[in-house]
Structure 1
Amino acid sequence: MSGTEKIQSMIDVVVVVLPESSIMSLASVLDPMRAANRVSGRQVFRWRLLSADGEPVILTCGIPIAVDGTFSLPLEGDVLLAIGGFNLDRHVGRRFIATLQECARHFGIVAGIESGCWLLGRSGLLNGRKATAHWEELEDFSQAFPALTVLGDRFVTDGKFWTSGGASPTFDMMLHLITQRLGSALALDVASIFVYDQTHSATDIQPVVSLGRIETRDPGLAEAIRLMERTLERPLTVSALARRLSISQRKLELLFTKGLSTSPGAYYLRLRLQVAHRLVRDSGSPIREIALRCGFDSLSAFSRAYSREYGTSPLKMRSRHRGAGATSEGGEGI
């Protein structure tokens, strides 16, 4: 198919959005298509928003989103995008999964965004394929669906089934779709509209910390933080970190003092506790397992460090958060 033929072919997209999804994920899907239409001067994308029951969807920020109808059969098109957030079990059941399974047969691309990847996993559509999820949930996602090859990439495309690990990776995924269907020049124009000057490939690893301009302003500090990310489960001493980075311990300490106004040891501990905090709130993993995954040799040491940072124990935090309505499967990933 030639580039001209691609541009002349309208892409029919169905977006299924669930309650408690992220507004950023929804925008990362819709705005690139809107911008592509604007840049092209014609409607190259046509989309419909659907919900499980045809009613408006309340996002995590509290904003209601009107939809065009109910996610039900018959349904067909070019691209089917399922956006999920918190509390999947409240919002979908067997009927939704059965509809997803049947609809997948009638779309050229089927993508799971945020906890939408869990929906594809539950449906069995990803069995034997590669997939990703938000970095906070990668291990749980892998354990829940052992028939998948789970990657830590920003987004994964395996045949017609695509999965995205968060709002920003979803924007990259949509640019990939535009490149694939409409050409790289149009994708570049769309990225430029949003002043998005650092596009990522699918296989870029999802970072625990989004460094922004630190990577160009202070690459040594960025490299140290990335090393900390990779060693959360088995944290290194500050001297070992410096050796791995081929710098002196004094220089490492100066990097953190100048760049982040803290010591490398304090930042490392805070990073481990932040990851643990998300797992305590948003996963069903046992507290002891979370402690080990975040580099704490004992539950008591983890509980003390966590309580100093957040003012309460991990168990009390989990109880409080669940009482406020959160459950384990499906995070926001913003």
Structure 2
Amino acid sequence: MPPSDTNIALSDNPVPAHIGFLLIPDFALLPYASAIEPLRAANRLSGRDLYRWSHISIDGEPAQASNGVAIAADAGLDDGLKLDSVLVCAGGNPALFMHQPTFAWLRQQARRGVRVGGVSGGPYLLARANLLKGYRFTLHWEHAPAFLEEYPDLDLRRSLYEIDRERLTCSGGTAPLDMMHALIARDHGSELALAVSEWFLQTHVREGAGPQRMPLRERLGIAHAPLLRVIGRMEQTIESPEPREALARLANVSLRQLERLFRQHLGRSLGEHYLRLRLDRARDLLRQTSLSVLEIALACGFANASHFSRSYRERFGHAPREERRRG
């Protein structure tokens, strides 16, 4: 265990920063832990209370994570905590969270000058509270399709984390380790931040602008560069699928050769892969939004609801409306 009297230069502020963790029911445990543990480590390694924290739930009762673990709350929304920062921890399906007192509380914190942030699905709630207009931000890639349908004009980035003035947003998973490294470095210097990262066995601290997802090469196990270029374009153009001929030109091969590459590396045709991408996106929207079946069909490149429903049933074994009922 590292000694508590590590010789690290620190800022002169003797008052620990008070950070509130607002735990939304069904929050994701890993990003929460990745955000709070670096604060504990910073205190331990510096030998000083640089940070203190409180757990907040919407009703003051224990908050249950998505894996069933419950964390006792120190306060509810009405308990008048004085905070320097608040981080909203959310997971599950944040698109369905419609608790107006929570949004009002977040706006109140922002008006008081509190630094407001969110991890994983938390930024979705910041948008609902109208706290992200004019800021760049990020959230977990799983929630991005539903979010963009609801908030197409906000500045969503597909990055690991974003720190834009008094807004802190993070995509989730282990990315809060990287974001907290940046915050600790800003508050107390890079020496302490590096010591914290090393304590958590981070051999590489990622930049905020880094990608959330694995590169296609690793994700699909494919090394064929032209084919990967085509698949990347397909993932970017789900709403308005590109003609097959345009994709073949992108790969600089004939359409017949491109079809052969899809069969060889993915075991399905180009058209079948495009359809799979569109139906996967549709399933996310059915689960995460209240858009109508027709609106989702159009958002995923289908000409009409009947074609969409037929294709959906063939892929998943049930109709889109049944998917929503199950959700």
TM class, shorter-chain normalised? 0.7 to 0.9
Note if contact 2:96-2:288 (Cα within 8 Å) is conserved in structure 1. no
Matched, 1:304 2:305: no
| Higher radius of gyration, 1 or 2 | 2
Matched, 1:201 2:208: yes
Query: Matches of residues 125-164 of structure 1 in structure 2 within 5 Å?
Result: 125-135=131-141, 137-138=143-144, 141=147, 144=150, 149-154=154-159, 155-164=161-170
The alignment covers a number of residue pairs equal to 316
- Post-superposition CA distance 1:15-63 (Å, at most 9, x none): 1101111123322322333444455565543222121222111122222
How many angstroms does 1:298 deviate by? 2.4
Gaps of 5+ in 1: 322-334
Instruction: Give the match's secondary structure for 1:151.
Output: strand
Deviates more, 1:215-224 or 1:69-78: 215-224
Counterpart of 1:119? 125
Matched, 1:293 2:285: no
Counterpart of 2:4? none
Instruction: Give the match's secondary structure for 1:70.
Output: coil
Note if contact 1:279-1:285 (Cα within 8 Å) is conserved in structure 2. yes
One-letter identity of the residue aligned with 1:98: A
One-letter identity of the residue aligned with 1:201: G
Q: 1:199 to 1:159 in 2, by over 3 A?
A: same
Note if contact 2:116-2:168 (Cα within 8 Å) is conserved in structure 1. yes
How many angstroms does 1:312 deviate by? 0.3
Query: Matches of residues 130-279 of structure 1 in structure 2 within 5 Å?
Result: 130-135=136-141, 137-138=143-144, 141=147, 144=150, 149-154=154-159, 155-191=161-197, 193-195=200-202, 197=204, 199-202=206-209, 204=210, 211=216, 213-214=218-219, 218=223, 220=225, 222-247=228-253, 260=266, 262-279=268-285
Take 2:23 and 2:121, find their aligned partners in 1: how far apart are those partners? Answer: 11
**TM (normalized to structure 1)?**
0.76
Matched, 1:12 2:18: yes
**TM (normalized to structure 2)?**
0.77
Deviates more, 1:20-29 or 1:219-228: 219-228
Note if contact 2:293-2:321 (Cα within 8 Å) is conserved in structure 1. yes
Deviates more, 1:9-18 or 1:239-248: 239-248
Gaps of 5+ in 2: 1-7
Deviates more, 1:126-135 or 1:212-221: 212-221
Counterpart of 1:95? 101
- Post-superposition CA distance 1:201-246 (Å, at most 9, x none): 24x5655x76484599837255443222211112234543232134
Q: 1:34 to 1:307 in 2, by over 3 A?
A: farther
Take 2:201 and 2:291, find their aligned partners in 1: how far apart are those partners? Answer: 38
Take 1:191 and 1:211, find their aligned partners in 2: how far apart are those partners? Answer: 28
How many angstroms does 1:297 deviate by? 2.1
Note if contact 2:118-2:170 (Cα within 8 Å) is conserved in structure 1. yes
Take 1:189 and 1:250, find their aligned partners in 2: how far apart are those partners? Answer: 55
- Post-superposition CA distance 1:71-106 (Å, at most 9, x none): 334322332111223466997744333332333344
Higher RCO (CA-CA < 8 Å; seq separation 6+): 1
Q: 1:217 to 1:88 in 2, by over 3 A?
A: closer
Deviates more, 1:112-121 or 1:227-236: 112-121
How many angstroms does 1:158 deviate by? 3.0
Of all paired residues, the percent bearing the same amino acid is 35
